[in-house]
Amino acid sequence: MTTLVWDYLAEYEEERDDILDAVDHVFRSGRLVLGNSVRSFEEEFAAYHGVAHGVGVDNGTNAVKLGLQALGVGPGDEVITVSNTAAPTVVAIEGTGAKPVFVDVRAEDYLMDTAQVEAAVTDRTRCLLPVHLYGQCVDMEPLREIAGRHGLAVLEDCAQAHGATHHGRSAGSMSDAAAFSFYPTKVLGAYGDGGAVITSGAETADALRQLRYYGMAERYYVVRSPGHNSRLDEVQAEILRRKLRRLDQYVQGRRAVAERYAEGLGDTELVLPRTTPGNEHVYYVYVVRHPRRDAVIEALKSYDIMLNISYPWPVHTMSGYAHLGYAEGSLPVTESLAGEIFSLPMYPSLSPDVQDKVIDALREVLRTV
């Protein structure tokens, strides 16, 4: 059987009764849109993070976009983020009419280099948008300090960091608002699309509820424009409620997989993920580095192992973002990583046998490339 970086079928077999029960629960409830399951999930998801409010939305991209809009970001503003991210982070910024401004990442953990942020602040800057990429958190203390000094909002992109902590605090609880995706591959994944924003600000939460519901404060009366139809689906919300109870277990499963890779590959040329002090990593993706990455990936295909690169192109080098005006070489760490990184299979139900097959194949391939 082909080995892929992510697969949910074994997990589904284990959880099938519960998932199907969740679907039936909603279908029998008499309320198919914005019902009790969305409301309960919002409360439970916010409580998990120790923040006051949760607002379910239709996907992670819109979680970032509506989160920014609820914090007052709009046309003409600038939002400081990284180019080493999933393109949707940047899609969401541009969706508000604001301009993305990039700083480089650190070579040790591939995360926002917060030492570069202050120099990127202009009088148009409105918000800082750290991305807790691959499963661990950006250093939030310097960002909060810069934001405080310049009167900026901070929004965390937590699409890859469900369950991660930073000096004991949950990813998503360290800023004005935090955006999550429940795309199936994520650490907490739905059976389809989903997203949420959490915030301790009551006004921000109200704004989010309006923004996702056509801009309406109550039925049929618009108070905010532009509005969106960005509701979290009721069925996905009920599935997510069930899965949220197992989130810590999923994270433990991912950590066990990471430990086995560290044992099996720690003495090879591969650069394995490093957990930055103060962080607890949830290994959304297990990103490794090798100077001849393309040859390694190619050779593994003959073992029926199909790996992935997250991400092969830094956002600022894509043709769709040429208008942002970043020359090649402008973000050197981000650009050099993109040529060397690749991801090993990582999901909680990955069996030790399959994982050992990957480790053995990699050890063989690394001797020859």
Ligand X SMILES: *Cc1c(COP(=O)(O)O)cnc(C)c1O
Contact positions vs ligand X (CB under 6 A): 59-61, 64, 85-86, 88-89, 131, 157, 159-160, 181, 183, 193, 195
Nearest-angstrom CA–CA distance, 7 and 340? 24
CB of 363 to ligand X, least distance (A): 30
CB of 41 to ligand X, least distance (A): 15
Smaller CB separation from ligand X, 89 or 317: 89
CB of 291 to ligand X, least distance (A): 26
**Nearest residue (beta carbon) to ligand X:** 60
Three-state SS at 345: coil
Smaller CB separation from ligand X, 60 or 314: 60
Nearest-angstrom CA–CA distance, 104 and 88? 18
Backbone angles phi, psi at 11, to 5 degrees: -60, -40
At 299, list the tokens.
Answer: 């050779």
Give the gyration radius of the chain's Cα atoms.
21
Three-state SS at 165: strand
Nearest-angstrom CA–CA distance, 97 and 124? 13
CB of 28 to ligand X, least distance (A): 28
Sheet holding 165-166, edge to edge: 169-170, 165-166, 279-280
Smaller CB separation from ligand X, 179 or 296: 179
CB of 268 to ligand X, least distance (A): 27
Smaller CB separation from ligand X, 58 or 238: 58
CB of 186 to ligand X, least distance (A): 6
Nearest-angstrom CA–CA distance, 204 and 178? 11
Nearest-angstrom CA–CA distance, 151 and 118? 12
CB of 166 to ligand X, least distance (A): 16
Instruction: Report angle CA 142, 146, 147 to the nearest 5 degrees.
Output: 115
Smaller CB separation from ligand X, 88 or 348: 88
Smaller CB separation from ligand X, 56 or 88: 88
Smaller CB separation from ligand X, 134 or 261: 134
Quickly list H helices, 1-116: 9-27, 36-49, 60-70, 87-95
CB of 219 to ligand X, least distance (A): 27
CB of 364 to ligand X, least distance (A): 31
Quick check: 264 and 250 in contact, CB under 8 A? no
Nearest-angstrom CA–CA distance, 233 and 31? 11
Smaller CB separation from ligand X, 254 or 359: 254
Beta bridge partners of 199: 53
Q: At what angle do helices 234-244 and 247-265 cross, to 10 degrees?
A: 60
What is the chain's length?
369
Smaller CB separation from ligand X, 199 or 355: 199
Q: How many CB atoms lie within 10 A of CB 296?
A: 20
Which residues are within 8 A (CB) of 160 and not within 5 positions of it... i.e. 6 or more apart?
86, 131, 132, 133, 134, 135, 186, 187, 284, 285
